[in-house]
C-alpha cells in the first residue's frame, strides 16, 4: 500500500523535485504503470474547468461618502446590487440584468469591467437616518477605489452537467444556449477528464480551506456549493477569491440569447496523491463520466431523460437521438480548461503553490431537494373550455363563419378526416377570405402551424407561450392530437385577476 502525507508532498514542492501532472496526463500514467506505481511516482494532479457559472458574484465595499450614507438601493452601470447588509457593502450577482440594457449587459459585465480596471458609474439611494443623513449619491469609481472586491461564488464547479436538447417544434433559449427544434442539436458543459470533482469524487482532498486556482489567482473552497448533490454525482463548490488579483483571461461575461447574462469562471484544483485510491480516481477518462440527455422542450423541473451519454461521445461531435445523428457543442472551453490545469501545474512545480488538507471535508452524503410548494400550481385543464366546437378542414369558410357567429367565439380548431387537429381558423381569417378570391374551404385559409397546449401544462407556461407567439388562443390536445379543449388569453387574464 502506498501512502504519502501532505507534509511530504509540500517538502518536495519546496525543494523543487515534486512530480506534478495534469489529470489528462494522469490517465496515461495509470494506464501504463497501474494505480500503485502511479501513486509512488506522482505527487500532485492538477485539474481545470472553464464554463458559465451563473451562481457567481462579488462583495464590494465602497467606503463611506461625506456626509455618510446607508445605501438602500445600489446600481452599478445600471445593474442593481444587493445592499441589504451594512451601510456601504453590496453584492453584485453575475445574473442580475441591467435596468436599461436588459439582456445585453448585467452583473457579469460589471465584474469583468472591474477586473479590466474600467470606471463604473455608481448610483445609490437611501431613506436617510440621523447617523446616515445622505439620501442620494452618484459617483464614478474603479476596482482600485474599492476597499474590498471579494468574489464569493455560491455554486461553481459542478461535478458534471445534464446535457440539453429540445424535442418541440420551435427553438428555445436556455442557460444551455439556443436549442434547435426537433432534437436539432445537443449542448453540454463541463471538462470531463479535467473536471475537478470527477477526479476526487469522494472528497478525500477537496474541502473547506482547499487552495485552488480561481480566475487567474489563488482562491479557496469555503464549503459545499448550493444544490450540492454528491449522491447523484452532482457535487458543487462554494468558492472565494480576491477580484483585485484576477485576470479577464479567466473571468469573462457572457450573454445567452433571450435568457440573460452569465459569468465564465476559470477554476482548477490540485489533488495531492496520498494513496492508490486517489491515483485511480485521478485517472478518470471522458468515457468514465456519464450523464443524462434531457429534453428541455418539456417545461418542467423533471424533464424526461432521453438517454445516457459519456463525455467521450459528446466530444466526438455528434450523438444519436431517436436513431438520428445529432450535432453536439460544448458550452465550456476544453482548451481553456486544459490551459488552467497546465498553469496550475506550473505554479506547483515552481514552488508558487502548495497543497493542504481541508479543515473540513465536504458532505459525501447529500441530495438536492426540490422546492416545497404550499399552493398548487394551476394547470391548463383547470380553466380550459371543454365544450369546444371544431370544424372539418373540408368545410367552406361560409360554414366556419356561421359557426363562429352562432357560438360567439373567434377561434375555431380545424380537424382532419380522422378527427385530429390540423389547423385553426379565426374570425380575422374569414374576413380576409371574404375579401379575397380563390379561398373557398377552411383548409385554404386556416393556420396550419398551430400553437397547442397539453391539459397538464402549468398555466404560467401556457401564458408565456401565448405572449411569445402573440396569439390569443391555443387548442388543448391529447397525445394523439385530438382536441379536448381550448384556452384563451382571456381565460388566463380572469384567473390572474382572481389571484390578485
Work out the widest C-alpha separation in the chain, in whole angstroms: 93
Per DSSP bridges, beta strands 391-392 and 411-415 are parallel
Calpha distance 489→492 (Å, rounded): 5
Beta bridge partners of 212: 219
Query: Are the CB atoms for 363 and 221 separated by under 8 Å?
Result: no
For residue 287, how many other CB atoms are within 10 A of its CB? 12
Q: Which three cell numbers stand for residue 233?
A: 454525482
CA distance between the termini of the chain: 68
Q: Residue 231 has what DSSP assignment?
A: G
> Which residue blocks in 96-174 are alpha helix, DSSP H?
107-115
Query: Are the CB atoms for 316 and 289 separated by under 8 Å?
Result: no
Per DSSP bridges, beta strands 290-295 and 163-165 are parallel
Q: What residue has cell string 455608481?
A: 122
Per DSSP bridges, beta strands 79-81 and 217-224 are unpaired
The answer, yes or no, to whether the previous bond of 67 is cis (omega within 30 of 0) is yes
Query: Are the CB atoms for 314 and 290 separated by under 8 Å?
Result: no
Name the 3-class secondary structure at 25.
Answer: helix
Q: Does the annotation mark 131 as catalytic?
A: yes
Q: 427-435 and 397-407 are packed helices; what angle lies between their axes, rounded to 10 degrees?
A: 140
Calpha distance 268→289 (Å, rounded): 18
By annotation, the residues acting in catalysis are 131
Amino acid at each position: 500500500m502506498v501512502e504519502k502525507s501532505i507534509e511530504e508532498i509540500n517538502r518536495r514542492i519546496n525543494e523543487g523535485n515534486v512530480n506534478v501532472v495534469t489529470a489528462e496526463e494522469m490517465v496515461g500514467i495509470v494506464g501504463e504503470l497501474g494505480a500503485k506505481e502511479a501513486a509512488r511516482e506522482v505527487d500532485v494532479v492538477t485539474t481545470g474547468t472553464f464554463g458559465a457559472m451563473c451562481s457567481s458574484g462579488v462583495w464590494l465595499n465602497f467606503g463611506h461618502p461625506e456626509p455618510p450614507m446607508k445605501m438602500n438601493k445600489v446600481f452599478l452601470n445600471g445593474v442593481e446590487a444587493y445592499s441589504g447588509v451594512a451601510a456601504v457593502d453590496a453584492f453584485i450577482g453575475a445574473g442580475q440584468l441591467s435596468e436599461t440594457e436588459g439582456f445585453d449587459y448585467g452583473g457579469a459585465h460589471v465584474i469583468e469591467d472591474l477586473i479590466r480596471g474600467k470606471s463604473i458609474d455608481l448610483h445609490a439611494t437611501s431613506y436617510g437616518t440621523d447617523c446616515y443623513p445622505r439620501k442620494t449619491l452618484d459617483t464614478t469609481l474603479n476596482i482600485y477605489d474599492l476597499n474590498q472586491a471579494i468574489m464569493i461564488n455560491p455554486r461553481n464547479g459542478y461535478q458534471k452537467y445534464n446535457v440539453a436538447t429540445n424535442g418541440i417544434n420551435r427553438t428555445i433559449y436556455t442557460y444551455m444556449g439556443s436549442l434547435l427544434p426537433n432534437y436539432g442539436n445537443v449542448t453540454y458543459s463541463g471538462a470531463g477528464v479535467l473536471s475537478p470533482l470527477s477526479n476526487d469524487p469522494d472528497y478525500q482532498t477537496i474541502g473547506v480551506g482547499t487552495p485552488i486556482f480561481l480566475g487567474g489567482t489563488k482562491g479557496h473552497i469555503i464549503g459545499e456549493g448550493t444544490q450540492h448533490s454528491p449522491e447523484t454525482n452532482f457535487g458543487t463548490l462554494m468558492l472565494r477569491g480576491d477580484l483585485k488579483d484576477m485576470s479577464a483571461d479567466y473571468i469573462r461575461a457572457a450573454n445567452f440569447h433571450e435568457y440573460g447574462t452569465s459569468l465564465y469562471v476559470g477554476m482548477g484544483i490540485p489533488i495531492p496523491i496520498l494513496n492508490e485510491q486517489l491515483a485511480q480516481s485521478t485517472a478518470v477518462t471522458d468515457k468514465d463520466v456519464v450523464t443524462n440527455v434531457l429534453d428541455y422542450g418539456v417545461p418542467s423541473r423533471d424533464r424526461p431523460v432521453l438517454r445516457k451519454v459519456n463525455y467521450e461521445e459528446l466530444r466526438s461531435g455528434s450523438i444519436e437521438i431517436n436513431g438520428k445523428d445529432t450535432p453536439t457543442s460544448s458550452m465550456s472551453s476544453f482548451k481553456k480548461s486544459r490551459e488552467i490545469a497546465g498553469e496550475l501545474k506550473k505554479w506547483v512545480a515552481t514552488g508558487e503553490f502548495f497543497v493542504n488538507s481541508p479543515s473540513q471535508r465536504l458532505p459525501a452524503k447529500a441530495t438536492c431537494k426540490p422546492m416545497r410548494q404550499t399552493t398548487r400550481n394551476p394547470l391548463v385543464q383547470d380553466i380550459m373550455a371543454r365544450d369546444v366546437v371544431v370544424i372539418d378542414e373540408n368545410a367552406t369558410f361560409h360554414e366556419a363563419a356561421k359557426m363562429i357567429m352562432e357560438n360567439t367565439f373567434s377561434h375555431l380548431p380545424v380537424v382532419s378526416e380522422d378527427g385530429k387537429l390540423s389547423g385553426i381558423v379565426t374570425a380575422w381569417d374569414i374576413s380576409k377570405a371574404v375579401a379575397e378570391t380563390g379561398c373557398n374551404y377552411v383548409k385554404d385559409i386556416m393556420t396550419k402551424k398551430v400553437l397547442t397546449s397539453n391539459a397538464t401544462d402549468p398555466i404560467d407556461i401556457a401564458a408565456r407561450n401565448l405572449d411569445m407567439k402573440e396569439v390569443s388562443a391555443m387548442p388543448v390536445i391529447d397525445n394523439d392530437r385530438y382536441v379536448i379543449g381550448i384556452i384563451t388569453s382571456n381565460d388566463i387574464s380572469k384567473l390572474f385577476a382572481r389571484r390578485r
